[in-house]
Structure 1
Amino acid sequence: MACHADLVSQQLRGAQHAAPGELKQPESERHRQIDFLLADLVSDFIPGVSVYIDTPSGRYAASAGYADLQTRAPMTSQTRIPNGSAGKKLIGLLVAILDDKQLLRLDESILPWVPEDMAGRIQHLEVMTLRQLLNHSAGIVEYNDVGELDFIRAQLAQQANRKGNKFALRFVLDQPPYFEPGEGFAYSNSGYVLAGIVIENKLKQPLGQLLHEHVLEPLGLTETFVKGYDVAADDVASGYFFNMEEPDFVLPYRERYNTKQLIVNTALADAPVASSAQDMAKLLKAIVAKEKPVNERIHRNMVGDAYLQTAWWLPRFLDGALFYGLGVMVEKHEGGVLYHHGGNEFGYITQSVYLANQDVAIGLIANCGAQDECDEPVIALTETLNTLFSADSSD
């Protein structure tokens, strides 16, 4: 199968955004290089890719390949996909904002807002806090690691039905913790799932409503929608997984599988939204650069040194020391600080990075994921983009 790899690119200077459908040829050698990299990335395993880059001298968007292989709809700069774990920074920011508004507290016990039928089946809730859930220091077991692919099997069995946080949290019940809260670091999606339940129970509002009111609308993230809450969150590119290696795996062997229905119908707080590459870049930059409504206190709670956890076994791009805040990875390297957090699930992969010293924000999305033939080239492209922009402070 030969994939369409036509390149659609836009160069956006200052506040001058290209109108829908208006194409401008890339004006710099760097942009021509990025165009080539995107076109070269498209393959049987990577149907489509879109990137958005915000630099001090301008903004640039480009895309290649297909958003849907059946209809041949092209990937564009407006294409949205589920963000996977890259959406964790939205939950971290929401909680930091709610803490700043004194609507909840990051460091109070979550026990009063855990459903009674679950409270007795998760250890250490009386001393567990929202901050620990969000910076992966709570010790709560990862729901994906329970049993023999138990979660994905349950997902597939009900893929046409909407599934929320309680669906995933049930796999955590009665499981021994990794450690006592505050005594270690272990990346766990379950912490965000539990945090989503706690937030809704304490404030008596849907998570989607809270995200819109306190984060999406204040930041002007008009291309980001909450799964299971916004109808527009279902209007995303198809996602593709091609199982080439495991005949006994739960997804079909040697058959391209469209994961769109599976993923959009699983609405969990660890992967809460679908958005464009542009909104992903805008969100991370807003957090780090303290754009309203992010103030100094919110910024400090999210990525301040006093609250960072030393992160183990998580991806890094510039061979720096890696730390984890509230949904944001902080990589301190020779040339400065890189902030990032990607997402990876069946059929979708996302990357968002912010080079603080260069004031460069990058969002990247592709409609494949959870297999080496997709993940490795996409991560390599992200590393290349980091290198391109980390050498200087200007475009």
Structure 2
Amino acid sequence: MTKLSKINYLMASASAIFLLGACGSSSSDNTSTQPPVAHEVDYQEFIEDGVAQGIPGIIMSIEGPEVDFIGSAGLASIEQQTPMQIDHVMPNGSAGKKATALLVAMLHDDGLLNMDETIDTWLPDEILDRIENSRSMTLRQLLNHTAGVYDYLDSATQAAWYSAIMSDPSSLKTDTYALQFALDQPAYFTPGNDFHYSNTGYLLAGLILDEVLGEHHYTEMRNRVIVPLGLNSTYYNGLEKHMGSIISGYVKIDGELENAKVVYENIGVSDAPLVSSVTDMSLLLKSIVDEDSVISRDVRELITDPQSMVQATTTLQYGLGIFKEISNGKTVYHHGGDEPGYKTETFYILDDDITFTVFFNCNGYDLCAEQSNIVVQKVFQTLL
């Protein structure tokens, strides 16, 4: 989203849906009409409706003081007709950026790196020489998207990336592989002068982590983040694929529904590192921003303090791997993830202590985009 915050967009769209359905009220209605009580809502019906409208499968978790729902609907595999289960896992795309940022913050807090040093502190000339302004951008700027570094998933290079991974699905793709699609490309601006979401920044952060740790950072991701937080169904995609099996994910190519599973189980990049369950993704997000967390206060503040939090749009802020906005007077943290075939949405409503995560095993075509948004919209009508 560039002109509207994500939640405001969803809520605005939701108003039309609910008016057509003769229930609820417009999100622009500022009267005292009370929203439905969350625990009285049939959330299972929401996801079953989504499947009935053409989404292959959905898993959803909502947890708070007055609501405790987890459910699934549809199929984890169309080919095998495997029912979707609540504990199934899938790649979470950019929703995993918060884990990369968290690991950096932990190493910063331990004095193993300084995120305010420029990236030439760690990276070699063969990379630096091919990235504009590389010697004047900091690690913190990579993580909050103020470095101006070209995004390898920009429209100019996105097709080349997808073509490359689709044509060679079985080999492991890591940060170095993905970075080649961003080299020798122009910067968006000089570091620190604007905000532009860039997946490349997280690739570079991953390579810095490798340099600092002397090995691929997935090991410390497990030791410092995954295990201490109790993310028992989570693993680093590609590099730890022996630890589980992802569900199928569907995208339309030339009008035909294709399964992207074989491609995405072999991609392990720092801008989209995780395979996880809905409950684990909720726990990760909540742990980063909630005071009642095993993550130290100093580390949490590094992610969301004013030095890290920048203005992404007029209503939306971005810290280190996490968005923040105020919706209906409530503070909401979130970060979704989109890959061809897989869509993750995860939110934490701080004021109400409510987590909401939903997985769709489809993405990249109109029907999936429309129907997945409707499901999310319906839920937000009950929570906000």
Global fold match (TM > 0.5):
yes
2:139 to 118, 130, 138: 130
| CA-CA distance at 1:119 after TM superposition | 1.9
* Structure 1 position 157, deviation (Å): 2.2
Shift in Å, 1:106:
1.5
Alignment of 1:341-356 (within 5 A): 341-356=335-350
**Which residue identity is paired with 1:180?**
T
Tell me the alpha carbon deviations over residues 146-184 of structure 1, each in whole angstroms, 9 at most, x when there is no partner: 347111111122212111111111111111100111111
After superposition, the C-alpha distances for 1:106-148 in whole angstroms (9 at most, x for unaligned) are 1111113223321211122222111111110010111122347
Q: Give runs of ≥4 in structure 1 deviating > 6 Å.
A: none
Q: Which amino acid in structure 1 is aligned with residue 135 of structure 2?
A: E
- Counterpart of 2:305 in structure 1 is 304
Q: How does 1:101-116 map to 2 (within 5 A)?
A: 101-116=110-125
Q: Which residue of 2 aligns with 1:335?
A: 329
The 3-state SS of whatever aligns with 2:352 is coil
1:233/1:273 contact within 8 Å kept:
no
Q: Which residue of 2 aligns with 1:90?
A: 99
Q: 1:53 is aligned with what amino acid?
A: I
Q: Which amino acid aligns with 1:258?
A: N
Correspondence list, 1:118-267, <5 A: 118-145=127-154, 146-147=156-157, 149-232=159-242, 235-242=245-252, 252-267=253-268
The two structures have a TM-score, normalised by structure 1, of 0.84
Q: Which of the numbers 29, 38, 44 marks the counterpart of 2:47?
A: 38
**Structure 1 residues 31 and 99: alpha-carbon distance in aligned structure 2, compared to 1, 3 A threshold:** farther
Most deviating of 293-302 and 92-101: 293-302
Instruction: Give the conservation status (yes or no) of the 8 Å contact 2:46–2:378.
Output: no
Q: Could you tell me how far 1:199 is from its partner in structure 2?
A: 0.8
Aligned residue identity for 1:272: P
In structure 2, the partner of 1:373 is 367
CA deviations on 1:330-359 (whole Å, 9 max, x unpaired) are 012332211111011100000100011110
The SS at the match of 1:307 is: coil
Q: Is the 8 A contact 2:311 2:317 kept in 1?
A: yes
Q: Which residue of 2 aligns with 1:389?
A: 383
Q: Write out per-residue CA displacement over residues 217-245 of structure 1, whole angstroms, 9 at most, x where no aligned residue.
A: 11000011101221346601000012xxx
Alignment-derived partner of residue 73 in structure 2: 64
Deviation at 1:296, TM superposition (A): 2.1
Whole-angstrom CA distance in 2 between matches of 1:147 and 1:196: 20
**CA, structure 1 residues 311+376, in 2 after alignment: closer, same or farther (shift >3 Å)?**
farther
What amino acid is the match of 2:295? V
Structure 1: state its 5+ residue gaps: 1-27, 243-251, 313-319, 391-395
CA 29–127 in structure 1, closer or farther in 2 if over 3 Å, else same: closer
Q: Do 2:341 and 2:363's aligned partners in 1 also have CA atoms closer than 8 Å?
A: yes
Partners of 2:39 and 2:67 within 8 A in 1: no
Give the distance between the partners of 1:46 and 1:380, measured in 2 at CA: 11
**1:65 alignment partner AA:** G
The offset of 1:32, in angstroms, is 5.1
